[in-house]
Amino acid sequence: MVTGSSPGAWFVRALGAGRGRPAALALLVATAALLLPRDSPLEAARLALFDAYQVYLPRERNSGPVTIVAIDEHSLKAYGQWPWPRDRFAALIDRIAQERPAAIGLDIIMPERDATSPEALARTLPRSQDALKKALTALPAHDGVLAAALGAAPVVLGAAGFEEATPATSRGLRVREMAVVGADPMPYVRRYPLVLASLPELQAAARGQALLSADTERGIIRRVPLVSAIGDTLVPALSLELLRVGIGAKTVQVETGARGVTAVTVGDLRVPTQPTAEAWVHFTRFMGERYVSALDVMNGRLDRDILKGKLVIVALTGIGLTDYKTTPRGEYVPGVEYHAQLLESFFDGHFLLRPYWMHWVELVFQMGGGAFLILAVPVVPPRHATALAVAVLVLTFAAGFLAFYWAGLLFDAASVSVGVAAVFAALIASAFIEADRGRREAQHALQLEREASARVAGELEAARRIQLGTLPRADTAFPGEKRFELASALEPARAVGGDLYDFFRLDERRVFLLIGDVSGKGVPASLFMSIAKALSKSIALRQRLDLKAVLTQANVEIARDNPEAQFVTMFAAVLDAESGMLEYWNAGHDAPVLKSSTLGSLESAAGGPPLCVLDEFEYGSDSVQLARQDAVVMFTDGVTEAANTAGELYGRKRLDALLARVQRDATANDLLREILADVREFVGSAEPSDDVTLLVVRWLGL
């Protein structure tokens, strides 16, 4: 229990004060602060929502300016594994150039010399092969052949920014100087100290160079830097440089404002960016028509319009040769897909933006929605309050999708909704606290009334608790027992009743079982039931070594003080848990059902009348050998004489039919539940006519 001075009690009081408005306002301010930083704890929810925009509202492809020449599985199978000899790669470039593309971009980096080039092979030959060495040395070097191919075509080479040095990295890159308008963009762009680039002679031959690098966010590339830096040198992204070469522009222009980079311009195209010079890529679904196999290009098996006038990107797409990425749409695609889709966005004039002022728009939405709920929720019914909160959340998410659809704006409805939901939760919690306080006051008044009533009827309720409390529980009586199962139930027809059952160990092997039914009902029957149960257990424990006369002795001792001349039917049994032998005695009680491979009845030839009917009657015993999984179902006449609203009795035949339907491997608890459920279904809405008592034992023989 939370004490009045504990921190928990203080929090509950604070939450309930002022109908929850002060606490809700504090939560609104706290969650609003989470909207501002980029590395907010809500970043994961924000990115997931932005991905959902792309899943449900993908970009429509209105133009097809890009063709990807894929060095795919078919190409590798025809020309051998990668890397190919540079003269073969040069042949691919020449073949593409013949189709007169606008520009060719290589999403491939070649930082080392061709190991298959003639001069490289000559160096591996021994001196005895001088003639062959001279002949090989006289042949054109493969890197030179490729450089010539690059120089003859409008080619842009790709490079990758590196944070740490490797044997192949360098500190510089041959690039065309970029024009800067406004402030210095260096403090805002992604900077790499090192670069992995192609050979210098290949760089010198190409029309341009660009970076391929982009950072992932939780395993997904959503944003691509259009401008980065290698050291102190600005370098364009492949998409920008490829476009510059394709349209014949002299340079790429970077516009910088007070908060960072605002846009990059190539020719007549102006692309708005994030302050970090990044562009969010709006994806279409993956389209195979963007791709053409390098094998088809080499063999001339393609429509010339596929390459003519296009921005062509040559990339490795064979599994194991390239770095596949997951798009925000959840599609697993080659990394070149990002560059191709970004170029398509340029031509379509379709850009995604998250301007610096979007945080303030989101803050206005959150504060406005939260303030509306703070004012409205405490004064409307709970169902209306929930409808208002749902409406605010739906409107928030609808605003996000509409902003994305109409203007390509990334509105963070997820973080806004977290704040609004926190406000609603605080207000509802306060309402529950108020309701709980009212409930407690009502309970207190009701308790006073109950106490007044209990002074009249409390003794009866106490008797019920005492009576039921004396009965053992089957689920806890024999912990760890594997040889048999027990299940029991007693449902009095009135507050107290006259049925009884009991079970207890006599020793490690034997278990004593007892069920009985006292004549009459109500308090007299319950008192007599307690006496009969207690005396029977006492006798059994005293005579545990010789139980032949257990009911005979019980008859004597129970009848000794019986001024009301009551009697009790009783069935007692002893189960040997090791052997499965069941010895039993019957004093006028209904014969239990034996559920074995077939149904049977434990009729007693040596039984007698109920206890306290005949003085000094000698009760004999019977026995039966149980097989493994046999069950004995003991019950009182409250089961068979249960009556429905038509006055019909449940009967022994219905009980036998039910037990015949139950599988033989059903547990004791299963049998008990099936019987109780069937009796209740039969009785329906009729008032119970007698106590219902069941005791089920099942021998497992383990």
CATH 3.40.50.10490 fits 470-699, yes or no: no
- Model confidence at 545, pLDDT cuts 50, 70, 90, reads low
* Amino acid (1-letter code) at residue 446: L
pLDDT at 453: 62
- Give the number of other Cβ atoms within 10 Å of residue 696's Cβ: 27
Q: Are 614 and 608 in contact (CB under 8 A)?
A: yes
Which residues lie closer than 8 Å to 342 by C-beta, 6 or more apart? 224, 237, 239, 279, 281
Q: What are phi and psi of 81, to 5 degrees?
A: -70, 160
Q: How far from the centroid of its chain's Cα atoms is residue 210's Cα?
A: 42
pLDDT of residue 218 exceeding 90: no
CA distance between the termini of the chain: 46
pLDDT at 267: 93
Using DSSP's 3-state secondary structure scheme, residue 573 falls into: strand
pLDDT at 8: 46
Q: Encoding tokens for residue 408?
A: 């390509």
pLDDT at 4: 46
pLDDT at 11: 45
Tens-digit pLDDT profile for residues 107-127? 999 999 998 888 888 888 887
Q: pLDDT higher for 430 or 169? A: 169
Burial category of 69 from C-beta neighbours within 10 Å (exposed 0-12, middle 13-18, buried 19 and up): buried
pLDDT at 672: 93
Q: Over pLDDT 70: what percentage of the chain? A: 93
Tens-digit pLDDT profile for residues 427-458? 888 877 877 777 788 777 777 776 666 555 55
In this structure, what DSSP letter does residue 592 have?
P
Comparing CA positions, the residue from 513, 491, 498, 485 lying closest to residue 679 is 491
Which residues lie closer than 8 Å to 397 by C-beta, 6 or more apart? 413, 417
Which residues lie closer than 8 Å to 135 by C-beta, 6 or more apart? none
For residue 430, the surrounding DSSP H or E stretch is helix 413-469
Q: Are 182 and 142 in contact (CB under 8 A)?
A: no
Mean pLDDT of 454-483: 74
pLDDT at 17: 45
Edge-to-edge strands, sheet with 233-236: 190-192, 227-230, 233-236
pLDDT of residue 462 exceeding 80: no
- Model confidence at 527, pLDDT cuts 50, 70, 90, reads confident
Q: How many angstroms separate the CA atoms of 241 and 210, rounded? A: 6
- Model confidence at 7, pLDDT cuts 50, 70, 90, reads very low
Q: How far from the centroid of its chain's Cα atoms is residue 489's Cα?
A: 40
Which residues lie closer than 8 Å to 373 by C-beta, 6 or more apart? 24, 385, 388, 389, 392, 420, 423, 424, 427
In this structure, what DSSP letter does residue 281 have?
-
Percent helix, percent strand, percent coil in the chain, to nearest 5: 45, 20, 35
User: Which single residue is written with the structure tokens 């590395």?
Assistant: 39
490 pairs with which residues across the strands? 693
Q: pLDDT higher for 624 or 218? A: 624
Q: Encoding tokens for residue 487?
A: 């299940």
- Residue 99, sorted as left (phi over 0), alpha (psi -120 to 50) or beta, turns out to be alpha
Q: pLDDT higher for 128 or 685? A: 685
- Model confidence at 162, pLDDT cuts 50, 70, 90, reads very high
pLDDT of residue 578 exceeding 90: yes
- Model confidence at 405, pLDDT cuts 50, 70, 90, reads very high
Q: How many angstroms separate the CA atoms of 154 and 314, rounded? A: 13
66-71 vs 311-316, strand pairing mode: parallel
Q: Encoding tokens for residue 342?
A: 């970004």
Least confident of 116-130, 251-265, 620-634: 116-130
Tens-digit pLDDT profile for residues 22-56? 888 888 888 777 766 656 678 888 999 999 999 99
- Model confidence at 5, pLDDT cuts 50, 70, 90, reads very low
Handedness of CA 269, 272, 276, 280 (dihedral sign): negative
Mean pLDDT of 310-332: 85
- Model confidence at 3, pLDDT cuts 50, 70, 90, reads very low
Domain ranges, ordered by start, for the chain: 11-57+355-438, 66-113+140-175+191-243+278-348, 470-699
- Give the number of other Cβ atoms within 10 Å of residue 408's Cβ: 19
Comparing CA positions, the residue from 438, 435, 440, 428 lying closest to residue 23 is 428
Handedness of CA 647, 650, 652, 654 (dihedral sign): positive
* Amino acid (1-letter code) at residue 23: A
Which residues lie closer than 8 Å to 450 by C-beta, 6 or more apart? none
Q: Are 535 and 572 in contact (CB under 8 A)?
A: no
Average pLDDT over the chain, rounded to an integer: 88
Mean pLDDT of 550-565: 83
The model's pTM is 0.61
pLDDT of residue 579 exceeding 80: yes
Q: pLDDT higher for 459 or 139? A: 139
pLDDT of residue 498 exceeding 90: no
